[in-house]
Amino acid sequence: MTDQRCSPLRAERALPLLDVLLRPLFARAESLSPGTYSAVHRHPWGQLSYAVEGVLDIRTPFGNYVALPHCAVWIPPELEHQVVNPGRVEMRSFYVDPSLFPWEDGRCRVLQVSVLVRELIKTASAFPPDYPLDGAEARLVQVLVDQLTTLPEAAFSLTLPRDKRLLSIARALLDSPGDGRTLAQWAVQTGASERNLARLFRRETGLSFRLWRQRLRLMLSLGGLESGHPVTRVALDYGYDSPSAYIAAFRVLFGCTPGELERR
């Protein structure tokens, strides 16, 4: 599931060896080089991943979730996941006692981070693992949790299909997002009819094949932009015929142009 065009995976992150959380919130601050990844893993607590700088790609069996600098990803307890960063990233992670959160549906969430929450995240990321439970740190953690639950969800997720034929197509496109084969061509390769693949794609992902692939390309292209590649190169690498077509599609999904996103 890696994007080999811009930044192949190169270095595996070491994960902390924890049996229990000493406090309701365990903070980690990391500076990650391009192509860093974690092994696929799970844990009994929730996780909030936030990129102060750079782009994080959270991969689960049910879909991919992208965290921009103004977004964070909530990963529920016991969900298998892998964290990948295409470019350089300043990452802040919190392992969180799930009793602190009201979300019980067991799904990931991409949250639009407010200025207040961003500053709370930066402050809490410096807390020691055994911060006082009756001090200012514990009170700030509670404020952070209260604020997180009020944040709106962003649209930077991608559901992966479960049908084996569709999943083989999806994984091929994750590895090579610029692949321009039509659904009819994929149907020949998988031995299914184009009509059947189209119906299954919409049923299992909620999107048509064309829109799913477009969202995939746009999400993965964030890594190319974050690595400093020119918009023209990114547009062509990710299957667009021209920079203008790429910028127009980018604006529809993300609500801004690549240049505006960079200035943010």
Q: Are 18 and 42 in contact (CB under 8 A)?
A: no
* CB-CB contact of 38 with 83 (8 Å): yes
3-state helix, strand and coil shares in percent for the chain, rounded to the nearest 5: 40, 20, 40
43's CB contacts (< 8 A; 6+ apart) are: 18, 77, 78, 95
| Per-residue tokens: 65 | 């979730």
Domains, the chain: 11-148 (2.60.120.810), 161-263 (1.10.10.60)
Model confidence pLDDT, tens digit, residues 107-139: 889 998 999 999 999 999 999 999 999 999 999
Query: pLDDT tens, 194-212?
Result: 999 999 999 999 999 999 9
Phi/psi region, residue 35 (left: phi>0; alpha: psi -120 to 50; beta: rest), is left
pLDDT tens digit sequence for 171-184: 888 878 899 999 99
Q: Give the predicted TM-score (pTM) of the model.
A: 0.75
Say if residues 103 and 40 touch (Cβ distance below 8 Å). no
Pair type for strands 11-12 and 36-37? parallel
pLDDT digits (tens, 9 = 90+) for 224-244: 887 789 999 999 999 999 999
φ, ψ of residue 16 in degrees (nearest 5)? -65, 140
